[in-house]
Amino acid sequence: MDTGVLLTQVFNGLSLFSILLLMALGLAIIFGLMGVINLAHGEFMMIGAYTTYVIEIFFSKYVNGAFSMYIFVALISSFFLTAFIGFLTEKTLIQHLYKRPLDTLLATWGLSLILQQSFRNIFGANNVNVDMPKWLIGSFAISQDFNLPYNRIFILLLAILCVGGITLFLFKTRWGLRIRAVTQNRNMSSALGINTRKVDSVAFALGSGLAGIAGSALTMIGSVGPSTGQNYIVDSFMVVILGGIKSLLGTILSAFTIGEIQSVAEFFSSSSMAKVITLVGIIILLQIRPKGLFSMRVRA
C-alpha cells in the first residue's frame, strides 16, 4: 500500500472537511434556529465562488500589482454579498413560511433552480477556473510522495478561523446570545423582548455568508460551474443531520467524519463509489442514532 498517497488523500480529506464544515455550520445554525432547510444553500455557495471569480478577473485586469492579495478581498466580498442575498431571501420568502419546514424545502429548491439558471446565463454553462495568487501555488513536501499543498493548508486555516469566529460570535456577543436564546426557546425569548424576526434575519444572513466563504474556498482547489453547488448540498445536509442539530462540536466532528470517509474511500475505489459508501454509511449510522451522533437528551 502506498502510504504517502494515502496520507495525501487523508490531507485532501481535510479540504473537503473544511468546505463541508463551512457549509454545514451555516445550515446548522439556520436549521437549529428556525427549523428551516435551505436547499438553495449550495447555490449560495456558488454565489461566493462566482464572486471570487469576478474579483480575480478584476484584479488581474485592473489592479495586477495587488493580485497576490485579491483572495482576501474576494473572501470578504463573498461573505457579505452572499449574506446580503441570504438576508433578502429570508425577508421575502422564508419568513412567510415559518412553521412549514417541508414547504420551505420546496420553495428554496425553486430558488436554487432560478439561481442555477442565472449562473448559466451570466457565466456560461461550462466550469470556470480561478487563478491562484503565487503564494498559494506549490506545496510543502514532507516526504517524496506526501505533500501538503499550500492552497489546501490555507483552506484548512480559513475554516478554523471561521469556526473560531463563529464560536466567539455565538458565545461572546449580544447577537450570539440572542441567537442561542431563540434557538433554545423561541416563545420565551420573544416574551423577554427579543425581536425573534430580527434574530432570524441575522442568523440566516450569517449562515448564508458562511456558504459564500465555502464557495470562495472551493475555487482554490478546483474549477466551479453552475451546478457545482448541487454536488455539495446533499453532503452538507448529511453533515448537519449526522452531527445533530444545536451542537457546534457535533457539526465539526461529523464534517470531519464525512470528509475523511469520502476522501479515504476514494483512495480505495472510484470517487462515485466513495460517495455511495459515505451516504449509505451515514444512513446506517442514523439508524443507530436517529437524532444525530452528538445530540443531547432533552425534554420533549
Partner 1 sequence: MRKFQFNKKWLNLSFYLLFFGSLVVFPFILSDFRLNLVGKFLAFSIVAMGISLSWGYTGILSLGQGIFFGLGAYAMAMYLKLEASGADLPDFMFWNGLTALPWFWKPFKNPLFAFSMVIILPLCLALLIGFVTFKRRISGVYFSLISQALTLVFFILFIGQQGYTGGTNGITDFSTIFGYRLFSRTSQHVIYYLTVLFLFVLLLLGQWLVNRQFGKILIAIRDRENRVRFSGYNPDNFKTIIFGISAVYAGIAGALFVLQEGLISPSIFGVVPSIEMVIWTAIGGRTSLIGAVIGALLVNTAKSLLSENFPEIWLYFLGLLFIIVVRFLPEGLASLFTKPFSSNLLKRQKLSMGVKHV
Partner 2 sequence: MSEQVKHILYIEGLTVSFDGFKALDDLSFYVEENELRVVIGPNGAGKSTLLDVICGKTKPEKGKVLFYEKIDLTKMKEHEIARLGIGRKFQTPSVYEDLTVFENLAISYPKRKTVFNAVFSRLSAQDKEKIEKVLESIGLIDKMHFKAGLLSHGEKQWLEIGMILIQDPKLILLDEPVAGMSAKEREKTVGLLKKIAPGRSLVVIEHDMEFVKNIAQRVTVLHQGKVLCEGSVQRVHNDPKVQEVYLGGYKVAAN
| Residue 232, C-beta contacts closer than 8 angstroms, at least 6 positions apart | 19, 20, 23, 42, 45, 214, 218
Select the residue interacting with partner 1 from 146, 237, 267, 294 (CB under 8 A): 237
With binding defined as CB under 8 A, does residue 192 bind partner 2? no
Q: Which three cell numbers stand for residue 157?
A: 486555516
With binding defined as CB under 8 A, does residue 275 bind partner 1? yes
Comparing CB distances to partner 1, the nearer of 117 and 167 is 117
Site string for partner 1, 10-49 (x = CB under 8 A): -------------------------x-x------------
With binding defined as CB under 8 A, does residue 280 bind partner 1? yes
With binding defined as CB under 8 A, does residue 272 bind partner 1? yes
Comparing CB distances to partner 1, the nearer of 56 and 266 is 266
User: 38-66 b/e with 16+ CB inside 10 Å = b?
Assistant: bbbbbbbbbbbbbbbbbbbeebeeeeeee
Q: Supply the minimum distance, in Å, between the C-beta of residue 170 and partner 1.
A: 23
297 binds, among partner 1, partner 2, none (CB under 5 to 8 A by kind): partner 2
Comparing CB distances to partner 1, the nearer of 93 and 136 is 93
* CB burial of residue 150 (10 Å; 0-12, 13-18, 19+): middle
Stretch touching partner 2 by CB under 8 A, among 157-165, 198-206, 219-227, 292-300: 292-300
User: What type of residue sits at position 38?
Assistant: N
Q: Which of 49, 226, 41 is nearest to 120 (CA)?
A: 226
Distance CA 74, CA 72 (A): 5
Q: Which of 269, 218, 287 is nearest to 74 (CA)?
A: 218
Own/partner pairs, 196-201, CB within 8 angstroms, 24+ separation: 197/95, 199/33, 199/175, 200/33, 200/34, 200/90, 200/94, 200/95, 201/87, 201/90, 201/91, 201/95
Select the residue interacting with partner 2 from 63, 125, 234, 296 (CB under 8 A): 296
Stretch touching partner 2 by CB under 8 A, among 44-52, 186-194, 273-281, 291-299: 291-299
Where does this chain bind partner 2 (CB under 8 A)? 296-300
Where does this chain bind partner 1 (CB under 8 A)? 35, 37, 93, 96-97, 100-107, 109-114, 116-117, 120-121, 230, 234, 237-238, 241, 270, 272-273, 275-276, 279-280, 282-283, 286-287, 290
